[in-house]
Amino acid sequence: MGYFDVDDVLADAVEVPCKFQLEVAQVGFLAGQPGESVARNSKLELPLWLARILAIVGAGDGEGDGDGDTPFVELLPPDTFAARVMNAVKADPVALDLHAVSPYFYALAVKWVNLFSDAELGETVARLLLARAQEINSNAANVTLVERTLDDLAGPLASRQNGVHHSSPFMLTMDEWEKTVYKEAHEAYRDSKKWLLQ
C-alpha cells in the first residue's frame, strides 16, 4: 500500500461518480471537452485520486481549515458498493464474482471506509474476506510437486490455459489483492510440502 506500489496506484485510478457543487471554468478536460467549463450540479466520473481530495477540500477565503466550506465536489456512492452488490456479499460471499465487481475491491473498500468512516461497510467487507479466505486457502492447499504446476503461480488464468492443474471457477473471481494472498499461500504450502518430503 505504499506510495510506489503499482497495485495501489492502479486502485487509485478507479473512477467514482461525483457531483460538482459549483461551476468551474478551465477544467472541461475532465468531461472530455477541453476549454469548456463544468457546470454546477453536473455529474462526472472522476478517478479516485482526484475525487478524494476534491471531496474534502472546499473553497475558502484563504483562512481557516476549510471545514465550514462546501467541498468542490460531492462523492456519490459508486456502483462497487451499491446495495445490489452488498446484498450479494451478504447472501453468499464465495459465489460472488468479486473481480467483475471491481478488480481492486478491497483496496477501494479500505479507502472508502477511511473517507467516510463507514463502519457498516467495513464489517461487511471483513466478513466477506473471512468467508473468501477459507475458499482461497482450500484452493491454495492443492499442491502437486510437479514442475509444470508451478505455472499456477502466475495466476489462475495461466493455469486455466495450461489445463494442467484443475482450477475451480472461484479462482477467476478473485480480486487483485486476493490473488497475491492466494499466491503466497500456495507458495507456502508448496514449500512446506517440499520440506516434508525431503
Partner 1 sequence: MYGDLGNKLIIEAKRTQQLQSRRNGIRDGTANVSIPQYNDALVRGIIAEVEQIRESGAGGDAAAGQCAHFVNLLCLERNKRCLLSYHKMRSEIMDGMAWAGTAGDVLSGGGGATDSTLSDQLGNLSHSEQSYLQQYTDLLTQMKSAPAFADIDLAGSLTPPSDIFIDVRVLKDAGEIQTEYGTFNLVKDSQFYVRQSDVESLIQQGYLQKI
> What is the contact surface with partner 1 in residues (CB under 8 A)?
3-7, 9-10, 12-13, 22-27, 29-30, 32, 37, 47, 49-50, 53-54, 57, 59, 72, 150-151, 153-155, 158, 183, 187
DSSP class of 70: P
Residue with cell 457498516: 120
Q: How far is the CB of 8 from partner 1 (least distance, A)?
A: 9
Q: How far is the CB of 60 from partner 1 (least distance, A)?
A: 8
Q: Residue 60 or 126: which CB sits closer to partner 1?
A: 60
CA distances 147 to 46, 138, 153, 164, 183, Å, are 45, 21, 11, 11, 16
Going by C-alpha positions, the residue among 104, 86, 123, 95 that lies closest to residue 49 is: 104
Q: Residue 24 or 125: which CB sits closer to partner 1?
A: 24
Q: Residue 29 or 116: which CB sits closer to partner 1?
A: 29
Q: How far is the CB of 71 from partner 1 (least distance, A)?
A: 10
Q: How far is the CB of 126 from partner 1 (least distance, A)?
A: 27
What is the phi/psi pair of residue 74, to 5°? Answer: -110, 130
Decide: 1 and 11 in contact? Cβ < 8 Å.
no
CA distances 177 to 1, 8, 156, Å, are 11, 10, 13
Q: Residue 57 or 95: which CB sits closer to partner 1?
A: 57
